[in-house]
Structure 1
């Protein structure tokens, strides 16, 4: 007796029904991921990748990658390579070989000819503007084209001439012959093929006509023996056209389309057109800029595949569109990193501290744990001396109420070392702080009996004599978390101050790490060593700060 399959979402429930009813021979499951190579993938595609490849794996099937390369004007091999790299980085392997809609151009042309012979398609001489103006609206039926009832032989001849390059771009097109009065606007004789003189990244100048996605997609699915075509919700109204196009296919098993809600995240733009616009306007430094919501940007920012999977698992698969708060994504990366990356001390915005009663020539080493969440990660020796750096924000000359960090006359503990007391502030001519003078209570070193003496503030620090220079890049959101549609173009809303570059100081431990290594800068957030790092210049991107708003919301709920 076959084991009953449990479904965790409505798509799996549908697949389980198909298996039980033997809709596809042997209960096989073959999904596909069909990106258009006209830009880099973004956070919205992450959900689709995990869903499609996850279904293939769960049902002991597979997942095809098929590039929807039917619009040569916007497509490029660079995008193909980036997409394949993104899929691999997320931990998936497609069923070989990689497919392209352009692989099927000859078959798709023959399918179109078959629809013409069936009386289901015709060549239209109207312009795209005329077609748009005669579609009608939800209250009025469309107007039939004057060329809708051409004879089959004439349509075949004209379509052949379109393929041979006899006509100019836009002079003719091939339309489905369905119903100009259909309540579903998609079914009002949609265009199946258009004339387009453009060099294709794979087929060169072989073709003068290219199929539309709505025609190429279902028939490519059928040719690849796809069982379940998982699409985002905006394709729901196009499902009747998906099924209609399959009339041209004679195979016994035909794919079925199932829709799910796409992923929208606050502060993140999920439109390749808009992302390209930002890249071209140089508002960001390329598609993989760590501020970008592209998978390449998210990877360079320091997110992990595991954190993205956790994010998708928490969201789930739903039928209704919604917007997910960015704080949930940030929660997932914190949860993933907090117990598995080391912690080191780095002062992002340094101000100098001089310990006036400490020997000028002395350097001692204090013992600091690498990660208190995981004692097995051990500890390290950190140099400590007379001259230190602390965060500028950790000092306030005239402290506000409940300010428990360094201020004149107050004591604080330096992490892993001593309690110190601020005695003086030395300023530059412009009034800015040059250095802070403190005295050390030598009886309070960590690990000694005097360490039990309590003070309210504990600061991280870096020894100035052994400090490593680090360029730290702090990122803000490109779009405000509370953004709403106010009629302005999105380019007007982009935060042009979303990157802050700081000259920081780190303990020498950081020199042991390499590009791609992650760690927590104590009290400042999680960071990754960026690819811009050279032998003489270390660059670190802040992945996320330590403040976890999502877990607070979750705990309240």
Structure 2
């Protein structure tokens, strides 16, 4: 997608210099390497746009690779969803790989490290190994098994591979430096025993490689030139390089870190998102309040807007938090240009035009978009009984009131000017109907000297479709939920308001996912819960910036 790469950024500058110097023969090969243990979220969108965007900018290619090294948490459901999400965003990978496809090669590399005296089998339990790693201020302690012979390490590792030991009985560790100031280099575990079938590789494996060991070798096997990842992997880079150098691999990809995406009022941690789903705080991964790609798609956010958002925030090494107002403004600007207009009444109030016969019907032609005639027009039925918003009438209108009040006139969008003559109330005094008269000379125009109070939207009562409106707001009521002792405590209990009695014009029924601007209301997407007799709309974003 040519519009995706941002203006010059430090990664683009690095790659530009590499290409100019003939590094990697001038080739640029990147990869997007998600773990299939959950659904992708907004933070992944930034990485997707960067990896695919850089490859396209430099006429290279990007692979999709599933880093599937943990059989207990990964699933084909997540893998399929990831593929769908990347395609929906508008990107195409050259090859799709699995780290598990490389298990035979990774195992061979492990034996090479053992033979070089650079890996050993540790028979201590996991808690002891963690305690012996030391702290940021204290060095680690050598394992009592660190000096096992190559022969003994091979024999035990053979038995681990064959499945002769229970989970946790042994691990294979890289033999680096237990006094290193970088804890990642203090003899990290590179293989552990897991008697668990793998969703892609089957049940043949009894040992599984760790992520840090697998990732660099997978990059090398695929010939990746630039391994782009977020800053939390910066301290892992020395291990990335150590593995490749120790094995004297034929190529050595360059790991480059960039800042991860942080957005106000949002949690972008897969672990936290899983918690929200599993504990029932949201209605699944595709809940429109979730920052997952499936959730944002269901809410009506377009891939075009997400790519523009990532372009707008750029790429840097500095951590920061993006304002929610900026994110919403990108979505709003995108939909303002492309969403067709419809009329919807969310809180209906009946209006009867007494100067029109009850059998009167007329079809009006209204534009689908006020600034884009290429989007055409639609037919909107009109009769003597309408619905308008309850808020568009006031018993005691404030100064400069631009809507209906008794004795005041207002224009119906694309139709006549009407005047409120009588107000009907129920036994509790609530307004339940307005009796109005219309001016037949005002259809779609204002006669000379005629100044109606304002313009309001409406729907024909005889033709309106029933609709459920889901007014989604912020999932959290604190800008930085993770700053709280328990992020769950910052959940916004008012993040969803459901309106069950809304009315929409007949033309507001298209395929699921269609996004409209409901005039004077906001942007709304047709939800998959809709059926032929019951439409459901999700609010994508409000019509105006409320943050100001």
> Where on the TM-score scale, by shorter chain, does this alignment land: which range?
over 0.9
Tell me which residue corresponds to 1:48. Answer: 47
Tell me which residue corresponds to 2:412. Answer: 414
Q: Deviations over 1:124-164 (max 9, x none)?
A: 12211112212221221111111111112111111112112
Does the 8 Å contact 1:219/1:249 carry over to 2?
no
Aligned-residue offset at 1:390: 0.8
CA distance in 2, matches of 1:390, 1:269: 38
- 2:472 aligned with 1:478: no
Tell me which residue corresponds to 1:219. Answer: 217
Tell me which residue corresponds to 2:451. Answer: 454
RMSD of aligned alpha carbons: 2.0
- 2:458 aligned with 1:466: no
Structure 1 stretch displaced more, 76-85 or 280-289: 280-289
Equivalence map 1:55-204=2 (5 Å): 55-96=54-95, 98-204=96-202
Q: Specify whether residues 122 and 402 from structure 1 end up closer, same or farther in structure 2 by C-alpha distance, changes over 3 A only.
A: farther
CA distance in 2, matches of 1:448, 1:383: 21
Aligned-residue offset at 1:308: 0.9
SS of equivalent residue, structure 1 residue 478 = coil
Structure 1 stretch displaced more, 72-81 or 168-177: 168-177
Structure 1 stretch displaced more, 521-530 or 490-499: 490-499
Q: Deviations over 1:51-110 (max 9, x none)?
A: 1011111111111111011001110000000000011111111112x1111111111111
Aligned-residue offset at 1:484: 4.5
Within the candidate set 240, 243, 253, 2:241 is matched to: 243
SS of equivalent residue, structure 1 residue 252 = coil
Within the candidate set 536, 539, 543, 2:536 is matched to: 539
SS of equivalent residue, structure 1 residue 541 = strand
Structure 1 stretch displaced more, 357-366 or 500-509: 357-366
Q: Specify whether residues 287 and 7 from structure 1 end up closer, same or farther in structure 2 by C-alpha distance, changes over 3 A only.
A: closer
Aligned-residue offset at 1:486: 5.2
Within the candidate set 513, 530, 534, 1:516 is matched to: 513
SS of equivalent residue, structure 2 residue 338 = coil
Tell me which residue corresponds to 2:24. Answer: 24
Does the 8 Å contact 1:7/1:16 carry over to 2?
no
Tell me which residue corresponds to 1:324. Answer: 322
Does the 8 Å contact 1:351/1:392 carry over to 2?
yes
Aligned-residue offset at 1:7: 7.4
CA distance in 1, matches of 2:197, 2:428: 62
Tell me which residue corresponds to 1:548. Answer: 545
Tell me which residue corresponds to 2:340. Answer: 342
SS of equivalent residue, structure 2 residue 369 = coil
Normalised TM-score (structure 1): 0.93
- 2:497 aligned with 1:500: yes
CA distance in 1, matches of 2:428, 2:314: 56
Aligned-residue offset at 1:355: 2.2
Q: Specify whether residues 291 and 134 from structure 1 end up closer, same or farther in structure 2 by C-alpha distance, changes over 3 A only.
A: same
Structure 1 stretch displaced more, 222-231 or 145-154: 145-154
Aligned-residue offset at 1:401: 4.6
CA distance in 2, matches of 1:99, 1:293: 26
Does the 8 Å contact 2:513/2:526 carry over to 1?
yes
CA distance in 2, matches of 1:251, 1:7: 34
Structure 1 stretch displaced more, 491-500 or 85-94: 491-500
- 2:8 aligned with 1:8: yes
Aligned-residue offset at 1:246: 0.7
CA distance in 1, matches of 2:15, 2:488: 42
Does the 8 Å contact 2:265/2:474 carry over to 1?
yes
CA distance in 2, matches of 1:459, 1:335: 23
Q: Deviations over 1:379-404 (max 9, x none)?
A: 34422222111112222223345543
Aligned-residue offset at 1:21: 2.7
Q: Deviations over 1:199-240 (max 9, x none)?
A: 110222211111111100001111111111000010011100
CA distance in 1, matches of 2:546, 2:309: 15
Does the 8 Å contact 2:173/2:188 carry over to 1?
yes
Tell me which residue corresponds to 1:437. Answer: 435
SS of equivalent residue, structure 2 residue 316 = coil
Tell me which residue corresponds to 1:312. Answer: 310
Structure 1 stretch displaced more, 193-202 or 371-380: 371-380
Structure 1 stretch displaced more, 336-345 or 98-107: 336-345
Equivalence map 1:29-40=2 (5 Å): 29-40=28-39
- 2:265 aligned with 1:267: yes
Does the 8 Å contact 1:391/1:461 carry over to 2?
yes
CA distance in 1, matches of 2:188, 2:431: 70
Structure 1 stretch displaced more, 30-39 or 342-351: 342-351
CA distance in 1, matches of 2:383, 2:465: 15
SS of equivalent residue, structure 1 residue 359 = coil
CA distance in 2, matches of 1:475, 1:185: 44
CA distance in 1, matches of 2:20, 2:439: 75
CA distance in 1, matches of 2:394, 2:484: 43
Tell me which residue corresponds to 1:428. Answer: 426
Aligned-residue offset at 1:459: 0.8
Tell me which residue corresponds to 2:3. Answer: none
